[in-house]
Structure 1
């Protein structure tokens, strides 16, 4: 063996000497090393892109005009990507290419939604994908990239070159996935490459700063500062070690990330960082204005508090503590660009959104006889949990003076409670809910439903130190901690944004006070349009509705998600490995696909009897058109016909908020180069 190795070494040495003079040999070696390094770096930095072909877009939700859709897509909410300026973003190139980072093919490849042939508009001057808007930083006057509600809550299904747009649906972008080749890591690599590559820097600076040397130098300092922001965040709330379960595309551990950002990063309390290993799919939004409680665990009830909490998790900059990490008690507390008017506009816009309608001309005709059988099965097997359970409007009890806490919350802001539209029932002050009918969300304990409990367990069991906000207070879970913070922050934001007190009940959302409910449970929501929202269960662990209705042994243990090609037979995405997809391994904690089982075996998570193949087919056929008024008569009458539900209340303040947001964009045109 040693002789063979020695012979190989001598042969290589002879070849080396035969290459010519020393200078030539070392030149060859240098070229070879540089080439190998470049090819290795190119492979390392290669974007992980899905390859999709879209020829035409079909919008499946009724209830919106084109103007309302544009408003939902791009109205800012005051979030940022660590100070990334809009002009920088649209002018960055890929790390090893002159191609723009934000080209339609790249952004579509990372799962963002790009309409073929789209053109710049007032709200989208950079011609970016759905959900990437802009806002003006009031201090610097700079335009910042804004991650809007629509980025996570707009879906698209692809079928034979057709894009079926699902407004309010589940996105499949990879905004929080820090894996090599994904959007956020490629963005960071593009920034580094721009700073160290003279040619790339020159092109970037020409487009953004022009030829003035002082302006270009200032730009370089600002870009280095942005890179420092990334480094600081990645060493704290964004540290990969905190998110050991790959979120992939279309998922994020929303509550875990919000808690790490708010209680760790924003409060400057590193001891509050917790492992967030329970990624969930982005929930679909039509009809949520009807729900009494929202989020997968149903832990909160008020639109404004929910939206402000979400914006903090999506890195809305906020001043809560001073340089020493102490809670601010001055007027600076809560200083932020959080856009309450934008949130109010979007919330009102969503109330008129209908569920998506099955497109027979594209996905196939409905077998109405089979769907009628499925309707009867649904009413027998599914409606008890999924409802909708319609109840009369609540009279939400509120605190009317210090020390009152009628709903036994961990914290109450009685002044905010009383800023609503108040009536009295005897001596008890109440807020009368403005909805005609409410859909009551039942909670199903994790021990009963049997689905992966990690998200619910983390919510209930993770504790965060909130003593900076209330000195001496005991550690709390995420919901209670958000209540403690938001009870102080939201009224301050109302004050800073000059929201008239007469409008607070409207801005809060339908006169609902902010409350928290802590349950080790998940809520089963109504299922209108569910066929258009794969993958399924809260953690996206079941790829199709067919698999969800099947016994556990028939559910895939591993499958790939990321490509949006739709399977109209099984009602879900295709699951084979394709470029840009990630492997969902259900054996990993947080990824489990157990529970919600139709089986004759007495086991955890059993919710109904075993369904025959014919019964599964019937249920699938009905779920395609459940509640769709176009099919109600064909099904012999559908008790879930959504055209017969009460309509959403509309308020002038929502329209004014939308107009103000549009005018702000119009009066501050983007400096697009």
Structure 2
């Protein structure tokens, strides 16, 4: 391929006119996020490769929208992705990585794409690293699907694309091979997009991450070669949640919004992050192989996960501190609010669920308790834990905590098997990825693998994904329990509740029936209500919510009616204090 890294430094054309034009963007300032969050750490976080492989870089740079404009024309700003200030000439926005040898580079995504935001207030803008993004991931996915579909349907457009990728003129055999490669990419990508994306869409700042991970793994990776598809395993991803904030995420003793996964040490963190990258465009196809001790499956022969990158990203995540509120606060109100925060929840307080308290001990690092309880919020995501899928090539092989996988299993069990198997075999990846032979067949390697399997069955890893009975129990329980996190930096993370259905903290202190039924989503920030401003210039993104009459909609604003009986003065004081956390 002729395309190289140099092309990623070129400016591209005019911005999209899909949404109304926004005012001239403000230069975003840098918030204080602690002494460990340095410029070098930020730059690394923005570009670190974790093994995601969305598309060859040469393809993406040559791709045009279905309407003929360059797909990368505005560095994806039309979807809410942010420019990388540390690489101002790069076409790739924050959270988009580039990896691979010259001529074979792949563009992928990392956690920074979904966990970096900007807010605008009082005539200024601020970058919030680790904050939930306002990115419209569904529109990005759908437009990419349409763009490649239109390319394949238009021979003249494909000729132009082939020249950009291969050179002018491309050899006929190279052009034919490129067309086959693009067709195969599209066949797999279109299968998941056509079956997954819901109506109404998730909208900016939200996605159904758990369902998309299940769809990606069970629908695209576990079937027979050459395409590895099991289309029946792909379901509509209609339980959207907002992106969580990343600061202090490593300290939680539970993670994921329903709190089903243990957290708090580096092994559990690797399991968490590996599951994420398997769901975000990693190349992953487990291969049954009877020579593999105990597992009987080669999980790393076709696995693009960058384990070094995943570990480095976790180290970076630990360095991100909660953002310090950059605007003035009333210290008298702060003192009053602190006392209200410390009250019992029945009296409108917050500390019982959201204060810093010791959590479960899972290694050498301190954790904070992450209470899991039902407070009447939207129930749709919890139901995902009981979802089942065909096991495909994993059928009959070892389950993560013992036993064998049946023809159909809970999707979370299949994800656990993929994650555990990959982690266990990662130290032997070089041998397992060799063509034509497996060094694991040597006598010393089976013993090492056996020891690794035994170690992984220890309590340090077994809680990373729930056993089938735990998943079934969670889904069968009336209501829906979700995690309650420590509230440091909460001022910068609107909208609120796990599904992002409440625009401000002031609205969260109202009964559900009095909260906005719809609101605009964007970076404009309300310093009084603490959250999204009612008017978001230049956006058509509106989230329409349901009330308590439809708690399972995925968009319900119901629940968490703590503090609703406080007086107006008490609410103002509590909000002022929350700005300082």
Task: Tell me the TM-score range normalised by the shorter chain.
Answer: 0.7 to 0.9
- The 1:497/1:566 distance shift into structure 2, 3 A limit, reads farther
- The 1:50/1:481 distance shift into structure 2, 3 A limit, reads farther
Distance in 1 between residues matched to 2:188 and 2:131, nearest whole Å: 33
Counterpart residue number, 2:174: 218
1:272–1:465 Cα contact (<8 Å) kept: yes
Give how far 1:376 is off: 0.9
SS state at 1:58 partner? strand
- Give yes or no for the alignment of 1:307 onto 2:273: yes
Counterpart residue number, 1:16: none
SS state at 2:342 partner? helix
1:550–1:611 Cα contact (<8 Å) kept: no
Q: Which of 490, 504, 509 is 1:549 aligned to? A: 509
SS state at 2:255 partner? coil
Distance in 1 between residues matched to 2:319 and 2:21, nearest whole Å: 33
Distance in 1 between residues matched to 2:274 and 2:196, nearest whole Å: 26
SS state at 1:185 partner? helix
* 1:555-594 C-alpha deviation (Å, 9 max, x unpaired): 0112222x22111111112344765433322126110000
Q: Which of 446, 451, 464 is 2:389 aligned to? A: 464
Q: How is 1:45-444 mapped onto 2 (pairs within 5 angstroms)? A: 47-48=18-19, 51-60=22-31, 61-62=33-34, 63-81=36-54, 84-97=55-68, 100-104=70-74, 107-115=76-84, 118-120=87-89, 126-136=90-100, 142-159=104-121, 162-175=124-137, 177=138, 182-192=139-149, 194=151, 204-214=161-171, 218-219=174-175, 221-223=177-179, 225-235=181-191, 237-240=192-195, 243-268=198-223, 269-301=230-262, 302-321=268-287, 329=296, 331=298, 334-360=301-327, 365-380=328-343, 381-391=349-359, 394=361, 433-435=363-365, 437-444=366-373
SS state at 2:565 partner? coil
SS state at 2:28 partner? strand
Distance in 1 between residues matched to 2:206 and 2:539, nearest whole Å: 15
Give the alignment's TM-score, normalised by structure 1.
Answer: 0.68
Give how far 1:189 is off: 3.8
Counterpart residue number, 1:605: none
**Structure 1: tracts of 5 or more residues without a match:** 1-44, 121-125, 397-432, 599-607, 627-673
- The 1:89/1:612 distance shift into structure 2, 3 A limit, reads same
Counterpart residue number, 1:450: 376
Give how far 1:434 is off: 1.2
- Give yes or no for the alignment of 1:486 onto 2:419: yes
SS state at 1:450 partner? coil
**Structure 2: tracts of 5 or more residues without a match:** 1-15, 224-229, 263-267, 290-294, 344-348, 399-403, 433-444, 475-479
Distance in 1 between residues matched to 2:537 and 2:409, nearest whole Å: 43
1:50–1:111 Cα contact (<8 Å) kept: no
2:148–2:186 Cα contact (<8 Å) kept: no
2:132–2:242 Cα contact (<8 Å) kept: yes
- Give yes or no for the alignment of 1:570 onto 2:519: no
- The 1:161/1:112 distance shift into structure 2, 3 A limit, reads farther
* 1:257-276 C-alpha deviation (Å, 9 max, x unpaired): 11112122211244433343
* Range moving further from structure 2, 294-303 or 478-487: 478-487
Q: Which of 612, 619, 624 is 2:567 aligned to? A: 612
User: What RMSD, in angstroms, separates the aligned Cα atoms of the two structures?
Assistant: 3.3
2:355–2:486 Cα contact (<8 Å) kept: yes
Distance in 2 between residues matched to 1:202 and 1:160, nearest whole Å: 50
Corresponding residue pairs, total: 499
- Give yes or no for the alignment of 1:522 onto 2:492: no
Distance in 1 between residues matched to 2:67 and 2:543, nearest whole Å: 30
Q: Which of 540, 549, 567 is 1:581 aligned to? A: 540
2:499–2:554 Cα contact (<8 Å) kept: yes
- The 1:223/1:70 distance shift into structure 2, 3 A limit, reads farther
SS state at 1:319 partner? coil
* 1:504-523 C-alpha deviation (Å, 9 max, x unpaired): 99xx9xx9434134445211
- The 1:199/1:147 distance shift into structure 2, 3 A limit, reads same
After TM superposition, what 4+ stretches of structure 1 lie above 6 angstroms from structure 2? 196-199, 498-501
2:72–2:91 Cα contact (<8 Å) kept: no
1:50–1:110 Cα contact (<8 Å) kept: no
Distance in 2 between residues matched to 1:375 and 1:47, nearest whole Å: 44
* 1:606-654 C-alpha deviation (Å, 9 max, x unpaired): xx5612111111111111112xxxxxxxxxxxxxxxxxxxxxxxxxxxx
SS state at 1:342 partner? helix
* 1:456-505 C-alpha deviation (Å, 9 max, x unpaired): 1222x32234461445638543433322332222212332068999xx99
